[in-house]
Structure 1
Amino acid sequence: MSRAAVTYGADEIRRAVCLEDLIEPMREAFRIEAAGVGESTISVLSPRGEDGDVHVKTAWVPGHPWFAVKVATGFTVDGGNDRRVQPGGYVALHDAYDGTLHALLVDEHHLTDLRTAAASAAATDALSPASANTLAVLGTGTQALWQVLATARVRPITSVTVWGRRSDAAHRLAATITAKNPRLHTVVAETTRDAVDAADIVLTTTSSHAPVLHGEWLRPGQHVTATGADDPSKTELDVDCFAHADIVAIDSPKHTPQIGGDLRRAIAAGALDAPAGRLASLGDIIGRVHPGRSDAAQVSIAKLVGIAGQDLLAAEVALRRLAGEPPEGVPDAATGPGPT
């Protein structure tokens, strides 16, 4: 006998789920992906070309009661004198035994935003030097804010440098970061090179179709976590970044080389051909199957496109939190600051 699915709205989900809830589940999602357990798919649609994309991701993991279907949208809309990206979407959880719809999380992209930032923090924690305390963020959107706040939870960040194409947006982000975390000294850089020069850790969070980070700028010991180029048409890192790196860690051995536009270009150009072993899975590094960074002077890159298993685990955490339960294996935490 079929049962009615429960539907949760974005405001309920925002109140129930915070950033701290998801960092450990994202580590587990990396390990699951590296092990090749279960099934996952990623499809990208572009109904309006560069002005709108739709990401559809599905995931099932043995032993979990549900499978997930996630739809995340980002369409550029006119807003008076400005143009902005309007995010949207939902996660549907279906019973893995009989396929019935169990819950619909109409999160308006919020779970995707949180899990992306949490995954970025987990990747940065796995690869960057433990003493790294200066951070640069390239981009001024929602992910720029979330990823700065998330990185500050896994590294002793004291200063943040913001770069954006629009100075007013960069200054607004800097002010918001300071308001959310007053211990972070935040400034705005005039150029991307200035921002990168000031940082131990560089986060790229743009939707750029041309490189914003160049390998010739990278210095020994720096770490880069790149999350913006999540489809074949986008690129944030030039080919020299990958050629210059001592280790390049990816979130999905199956999907990232095909979907990440900048990584695709680097592989096609032969930038990762030698020396062997520089391309690794984040799940293997987190699970200590791969040694990861072995020297403080190495340059490391974490290249993320977002994996469907993360959406499944994030939705499971959300259901438990919405039911008033703490996430399994994660300490209860106060709601964090409140949208890829």
Structure 2
Amino acid sequence: MPTLILTRQDVSRLITMPETLKAVERAFTDYATGQASMPPKAYLTLEKGDFRAMPAAVPGAAGVKWINVHMGNTDKGLPSIMGIIIYSDPDTGYPLAIMDGTEITAYRTGAAAAIASKHLARKEALSLGLIGAGNQADTQLIAHLEYFRFEEIRVYDRSTEAATKFRERFAGNPVRITSLAEACGADIVCTLTPSRAPFLKRQWLKPGTHINAIGADAPGKQELEPDVLEAATVVVDDIYQSTHAGELNVLISTGLFSEKQIYGTLGELTSGRKPGRTTDDAITVFDSTGLAIQDIACARFIYEKALAQGAGHQFDFIRE
């Protein structure tokens, strides 16, 4: 039985956002209905960064992602986030593929936020605010454009150069570089920073705003001021991860927010177990920590496409 090696270039050629959206939404539903399993991600924190081990199983597939976050890597010409996925046969444990997980991480994170926006944002949302103009901003926009037609895309980054490059990458779209407060005044707001100090203020939000809180994915990280969450309907990807390492982790540890205040999980919305937005003026928040089920669901369709197209390099992992 061969093992397939897929590089970042291989994965980039195989992955598409429509397929990612379909796979990720299915994974959330499977998780909510007990058809997928996933223990909490394990963190290894070092002086200059951290690693996360993320195992999961979805129907017909199992695997683990080993991913790092080293913010100083940009000075060394390396991505700040890199990942490897080991994709295994659930019946035998044989490693069917070892593939780059960096592009998968970016795509599935953008997909999860767009799916949350589909269920929680106002249907007539016409503006998108992106706080942070790095690589994750790209897939956030690409994913949201599958569901929404924006009249305005507001982008803010502390680096004017990064914001300008983002606008150039999406020159065919109505992208405008704005202040932080103005970007937060959009119909849908995506926070995409590694901040450990909350910066998004309640007074910047208009009634009916939906927020995708993406950046807080490890203990101590926080992007939203406490009164934003206090006033919001809060949906999470996973209760354990969100309360221990997501946007909620600091507030829960200090007693400013309770797990009982969580409305539900995204899987409960995608499966129809709970409704999404029910009123036009509600503030809604999706706390995204990133789930291994998303990665393995995407790895499954990428592996199947790679086999069909003859992509990658095959070798016998056991006998070579």
2:85 matches 1:91:
yes
The TM-score, its normalising length taken from structure 2, stands at 0.89
What is the CA distance between 1:219 and its match in structure 2?
A: 2.1
Q: 1:165 to 1:316 in 2, by over 3 A?
A: same
The residue number in structure 2 matching 1:22 is 20
Alignment of structure 1 residues 156-171 onto 2, 5 Å: 156-171=149-164
Q: 1:206 to 1:104 in 2, by over 3 A?
A: same
CA RMSD of aligned residues (A): 2.1
Cα distance between partner residues in 2 of 1:96 and 1:193: 48
Letter in 2 for 1:291: P
Kindly provide the CA deviation profile for residues 195-237 of structure 1, in whole angstroms up to 9, marking residues without a partner as x: 112x101001111111131223222110001111111121111
2:210 matches 1:219:
no
The residue number in structure 1 matching 2:271 is 287
What is the CA distance between 1:84 and its match in structure 2?
A: 7.2
2:143 matches 1:147:
no
Letter in 1 for 2:64: V
What is the CA distance between 1:47 and its match in structure 2?
A: 1.8
Cα distance between partner residues in 1 of 2:214 and 2:108: 12
The residue number in structure 2 matching 1:299 is 283
Alignment of structure 1 residues 57-206 onto 2, 5 Å: 57-61=54-58, 63-64=59-60, 66-77=61-72, 85-107=79-101, 109-178=102-171, 182=172, 184-190=173-179, 192-197=180-185, 199-206=186-193
Are the aligned partners of 1:285 and 1:291 in contact in 2 as well (CA < 8 Å)? yes
Are the aligned partners of 2:73 and 2:80 in contact in 1 as well (CA < 8 Å)? no
What is the CA distance between 1:277 and its match in structure 2?
A: 6.0
Q: 1:316 to 1:156 in 2, by over 3 A?
A: same
The residue number in structure 2 matching 1:312 is 296
Cα distance between partner residues in 2 of 1:232 and 1:143: 20
The residue number in structure 1 matching 2:51 is 54
Letter in 1 for 2:250: R
The residue number in structure 2 matching 1:331 is none
Cα distance between partner residues in 2 of 1:173 and 1:271: 36
Are the aligned partners of 2:126 and 2:150 in contact in 1 as well (CA < 8 Å)? yes
Q: How many residues align?
A: 308
What is the CA distance between 1:21 and its match in structure 2?
A: 1.1
Kindly provide the CA deviation profile for residues 137-181 of structure 1, in whole angstroms up to 9, marking residues without a partner as x: 001110012101211211121211111111121121122122xxx
Cα distance between partner residues in 1 of 2:303 and 2:229: 39
Q: 1:83 to 1:279 in 2, by over 3 A?
A: farther
Are the aligned partners of 1:33 and 1:252 in contact in 2 as well (CA < 8 Å)? no
What is the CA distance between 1:7 and its match in structure 2?
A: 1.1
Letter in 2 for 1:106: D
Cα distance between partner residues in 1 of 2:198 and 2:78: 21
Q: Structure 1: state its 5+ residue gaps.
A: 326-340
Q: Structure 2: state its 5+ residue gaps.
A: 310-320
Kindly provide the CA deviation profile for residues 49-75 of structure 1, in whole angstroms up to 9, marking residues without a partner as x: xx42212100023x41x3111012232
Q: 1:271 to 1:242 in 2, by over 3 A?
A: farther
Letter in 2 for 1:129: R
What is the CA distance between 1:20 and its match in structure 2?
A: 1.4
Cα distance between partner residues in 2 of 1:32 and 1:313: 10
Q: 1:159 to 1:250 in 2, by over 3 A?
A: same
Cα distance between partner residues in 2 of 1:17 and 1:79: 24
